[in-house]
Structure 1
Amino acid sequence: MKRQAKSIPFYCLLACAALASQAQAQEQIVKIGHSGPLSGPNAFAGKDNENGVRLAIEELNAKKMVVGGKTLKFELSSEDDQCDPKSGVAVAQKFVDDNIKYVMGPYCSGVAIPASRVYGQGNVLVSTVGTNPKVTDGGYKNLYRIIASDNQIGASMAVYAAKVLKVSKVGVIDDRTAFGQGLAEEFGKEAQKQGLTVVGREFTTDKAIDFNAILTNFKAKQPQAIFFGGYAPQGAPMARQLKQLGMTDTKLLGGDTLCSPAMGKLGGDAVNDTVFCAQGGSMVEKAEQGPAFRAKFKKRFNADADAYAASYYDQVMFIAESMKKANSIDPDKVGAELYKSSYKGVAATYAYDDKGNLKQAPITVFTFKDAAPKALASY
């Protein structure tokens, strides 16, 4: 005989619905946008940055942080800006239209500079790794550079070349992007201050893979080091072509983008003891929280953290802490806390000046061993 299902009393249905409604009302969704290259040659960096944000969001959601009497639920909205200014501005407008008030990125300075105007007009709090000094010169509030600028990175490599590598003649190449050009200019200026002779300046693009003509031109001038302002997909074949041309003693110097494991994957043994680069942040593996961060990142994503995963992770955590201090998710109130507070993260201690630049931005110099980046010293 078939049993008849028990019906739920009407008053219980009402009570359950009320409880569900109350629980929903006590939850506040906070969307965190991410703008970065998720396709193309720099996709490895964009994905790494995105995962840094994702890891922070997952940990924050597990903590069930309460702000303004409501439990915050963080959600990630990630868009591919392709490291292209036009695409990056379109992504910025999409985030503004979707009422997303917190954005991590852009990764490329050439995107960050034009997109910052859209974000500024939309009252969005932006945290970028765009290193060109112009990124924070636009006067937009709530725009933060979460790593060292080109001024610091480019200059530090010139000092390193003079004081540690003991070179006297250098060449300079840039890829004509806002990032690469700015970085190379800062290196060149500091190189001259350090008494180095700049034997020549050459230009390429961020799509090129053949640098034989440029390097052959430099070979005749015998620089002991060549500084490249650009990205790993160009830096790696450049290192290989140095070896092929017999320039085995010439060092290839660069900024943070050459510190990526992608250099080893693309350049192989050619990068070993040849590539020297400076990256914003301290030596993560030697930082107090560094080993634990790297371990949980590897466990979660089955990949090693790249250049700025820790910086993105740190800044999301700093933003969340500032929300709690402000007891609000309003970007102006949260931004006010960011400006007046400091936060000790994995990669650095974060405290910002009135332009949104780090007051003290540590820099680490790397080389490559067994086609993998190896930190040499932090400054």
Structure 2
Amino acid sequence: MKQEIKTSFTLSLLGAATLLAAQTVSAQDLVVKIGHVGPTSGAIAHLGKDNELGARMAIDELNAKGVVIGGKKVKLELLGEDDAGDPKQGTQAAQKLADSKVNGVVGHLNSGTTIPASKIYSDAGIPQISPSATNPKYTRNGYKTAFRVVADDVHLGGTLGRYAAKDLQGKSIAVIDDRTAYGQGVADEFEKGVKGAGGKIIGREFTNDKATDFSAILTSLKAKKPDIIFFGGMDAVAGPIIRQMKQLGLNAKLIGGDGICTAELPKLAAGTMGDGQVFCAEAGGVDASQKQAMEDFRARFKANTKLEVQVYAPYSYDAVGVLVAAMVKAGSAEPARYLPVLAKTEGYKGVTGTISFDAKGDIKNGALTLYTYKAGAREQLAVVR
């Protein structure tokens, strides 16, 4: 039996591209198409556009430096699709990219769209890296084409549950989720984390990702006097929840996952968020040694787009880099040829940290960053693994 060779992507995204550009190339450029799918319309369009802009920035920088795959100079193209955060539209977008014979896909943003789309990519043999989908089911369906560059909900929800019970010393903790694959999944793991840390869940309520009126849910919870409320969902719903908590005089801390952990949340809460009232975790984060690389990325992103990074733009950026690095290593952009190399990614140096995949396609030793909000801005508390 042949010994398995462990590949190592130790060059940076730009460093690798610079070296490759120096190699002999043919006169004919090879067009490599990378798809991106996210909600670029609807209530969380700011998050979908953030992801897409991160992917586009990676492609623009790689093209500027020059990439060579299998002896041919490559021109990378981004094919962007909008799934509006809707599973049906997500599968339609996935099929469109498969029909266009893209060489790889970055996306989707939401677990609820990523999971059904992953079967389409699997059937077509197209590698897919999600920069932000955290539901564990995504990489547990056995699809060899599915990868992600952030920690999953088992880690994220469980960590937040333990943090609520121990660090915040929550005595009466309530849970609300939006019934999406992401919201329900992270809420389930949060509840397990609370109970595992000896905490008490006093109630669980449900809403949906299109709702705007939470008075009945919040009034019911207020009677139970929670000191902490966990919300599994996105910032477009969390903002109105915070506003209505204030209106009802419900003085509890709000905790949520990466879906609410955005730069936009204070605006969506319309000035009703108290300092230190909201706590959240982003599925990702960099240690001190990687801080400068992330700060440099944020500065370049703002210079290029005139926008602040919301959450996962740098993870989309790294997802493109990982795909291209695997193509370069394999000497081919054909999915069937570079997929085995992608699966063995080990030690890729990205702006979000070191990326290596386990046998399921999950990132190894994924980080979480805990935040609170003060004076209308996110304030980092800690990076945990």
Q: More displaced, 223-232 or 322-331?
A: 322-331
Q: Which residue of 2 aligns with 1:202?
A: 205
Which secondary structure does the structure 2 equivalent of 1:77 belong to? strand
* Equivalent residues in 2 for 1:295-334, closer than 5 Å: 295-334=299-338
Amino acid corresponding to residue 315 of structure 1 in structure 2 = A
Displacement of 1:247? 1.9
Bigger shift: residues 268-277 or 230-239:
268-277
Task: Select 1:292's aligned residue among 279, 290, 296.
Answer: 296
Paired residues of 1:343 and 1:351 also in contact (CA < 8 A)? yes
Unaligned stretches of 5+ residues in structure 1:
1-22
Aligned with 1:178 (options 178, 181, 200): 181
Q: Percent identity?
A: 45
Question: Would you say 1:212 and 2:215 are equivalent positions?
Answer: yes
Matched residues in 2 for 1:122 and 1:64: separation? 28
| Maintained 8 Å contact 1:284/1:347 | no
Match among 253, 256, 259 for residue 254 of structure 1: 256
Question: Which is further off, 37-46 or 269-278?
Answer: 269-278
The counterpart of 1:159, out of the listed 158, 162, 169, is 162
Please give the alpha-carbon distance, in whole angstroms, between the structure 2 residues aligned to 1:36 and 1:29: 23
Residue 69 of structure 1 corresponds to 71
Contact residue 153 and residue 189 of structure 2 kept, 8 A: yes
Larger RCO: Structure 1 or Structure 2 (Cα < 8 Å, ≥ 6 residues apart)? 2
Shift of 1:344: 2.0
Letter in 1 for 2:29: E
Specify whether residues 371 and 47 from structure 1 end up closer, same or farther in structure 2 by C-alpha distance, changes over 3 A only: same
SS in 2 for 1:107: coil
> What TM-score comes out, normalization by structure 1 length?
0.91
**In structure 1, how many angstroms separate the alpha carbons of the residues matched to 2:34 and 2:332?**
15
Contact 2:55 2:320 in 1 (8 A): yes
For 1:259, what is the secondary structure of its paired residue? Answer: coil
Query: For structure 1, which segment, 208-217 or 23-32, has the greater mean C-alpha deviation from structure 2 after superposition?
Result: 23-32
Aligned match of 2:348? 343
- After TM superposition, the structure 1 stretch with the greater mean CA deviation from structure 2, 104-113 or 314-323, is 314-323
Alignment correspondent of 1:229: 232
User: Per-residue deviation at 1:283?
Assistant: 4.5
Structure 2 residue aligned with 1:13: none
Q: Give the number of aligned pairs.
A: 356
Deviation at residue 221 of structure 1 after TM alignment: 0.9
Alignment TM-score, normalising by the size of structure 2: 0.89
* Deviation, structure 1 residue 338: 2.6
Any conservation in 2 of the 1:276–1:365 contact (CA below 8 Å)?
yes
Output the aligned Cα RMSD: 1.5
Q: Distance in 2 between matches of 1:117 and 1:325?
A: 26
- Cα displacement (A) at 1:300: 0.1
CA distance in 1, matches of 2:26, 2:80: 25
Counterpart position of 1:281: 284
Match of 2:371 in 1: 366
Question: Which whole-Å CA distance do the structure 2 matches of 1:186 and 1:348 have between them?
Answer: 25
Partner of 2:245: 242
Looking at secondary structure, tell me which structure has more helix per residue.
1
**Residue 154 of structure 2 aligns to which amino acid in structure 1?**
N
